Amino acid sequence: MNNIPKTCLASAMLAFLLLAASVQVLWNPLHAQQVFSAETYGGDIGVQHSECSFFTDAREKLLDSSLEGDRIAAARRSVLTSSGLSGHVVSASPKMSANFLPQRSRAASSRNLEARGIIDENIFGTLQAAAVTPAPASTDAEFLRRVSLDLTGRIPTGSEVVAFLADMSPDKRGSAIERLLNTPQWADRWTMFFGDLFRNTTATAQVNRYPDGRDAFHIYLRDSLLENKPYDQMAREILVASGSNDGRYYPADFDSYEGFLAYVANYESNPVTATPASYLVGALTRGGPVHDTFDAAAFNLARDFLGVSQMDCILCHDGDGHLDTLSVWGGQAKRSEAWGLAAFFADTLLVRPRRPPPPPDGGIGMQPRWWNVVNRADLPVDTPELRRFPADYVVDTTTGNRPERQPEDNNGEPVAAPVYPFGGGGPKAGESRREALGRLLTADIQFSRAIVNYVWREFFSRGIVEPADQFDLGRLDPANPPPDPWQIQPSHPYLLQGLAEGFVNNGFDLKWLMSEIANSRAYQLSSRYDGEWSAAYEPLFARYQAKRLGAEQIHDALIISSGVFEPYVLSRSIGPVVFAMQFPDVQDLPRAPRRPTNDGALAAAAVTWLDAFLRGDREETPRSAEATIIQALHLMNSPLVLERVKASRSAGALAALLLEPDPVVVSGLHLLVLSRYPAPEELTAGLQLLQTGNRSDAAEDLMWSLYNKVDFIFNY
Q: Parse the chain into domains and list their residue ranges.
A: 21-180+456-547, 551-715
d(C-alpha 548, C-alpha 26), whole Å: 13
Q: What is the mean pLDDT of residues 240-260?
A: 94
Taking only the tens place, the pLDDT of each residue in 100-148 is 565 444 344 444 455 579 999 999 999 999 999 999 999 999 999 999 9
Classify the phi-psi angles of 714: left when phi > 0, otherwise alpha if psi is within -120 to 50, otherwise beta.
Answer: beta
d(C-alpha 363, C-alpha 87), whole Å: 69
Angle at 369 between CA 368 and CA 373, to 5 degrees: 95
Percentage of residues of the chain with pLDDT beyond 70: 83
Taking only the tens place, the pLDDT of each residue in 636-692 is 999 999 999 999 999 999 999 999 999 999 999 999 999 999 999 999 999 999 999
pLDDT score at 8:
46
Is the distance from CB of 371 to CB of 244 less than 8 angstroms? yes
Q: Could you give the C-alpha distances from 50 to 54, 299, 313, 572, in angstroms and in order?
A: 10, 20, 12, 46
Neighbouring residues of 512: CB distance < 8 A, sequence distance ≥ 6: 502, 503, 506
pLDDT score at 380:
77
d(C-alpha 252, C-alpha 257), whole Å: 14
d(C-alpha 472, C-alpha 133), whole Å: 30
Taking each helix axis as running N to C, give the angle between helix 493-505 and helix 445-460, from 0 to 180 degrees, rounded to the nearest 10.
110
Q: Using pLDDT thresholds of 50, 70 and 90, give the confidence band for residue 593.
A: low
Q: What is the mean pLDDT of residues 193-204?
A: 97
Amino acid letter at 601?
A
Q: Using pLDDT thresholds of 50, 70 and 90, give the confidence band for residue 197.
A: very high
Examine the pLDDT at 86 and tell me if it is beyond 70.
no
Q: Using pLDDT thresholds of 50, 70 and 90, give the confidence band for residue 490.
A: very high
Q: Using pLDDT thresholds of 50, 70 and 90, give the confidence band for residue 30.
A: very low
pTM, two decimal places: 0.88
pLDDT score at 594:
55
**19 compared with 415, residue with greater pLDDT:** 415
SS3 assignment, position 411: coil
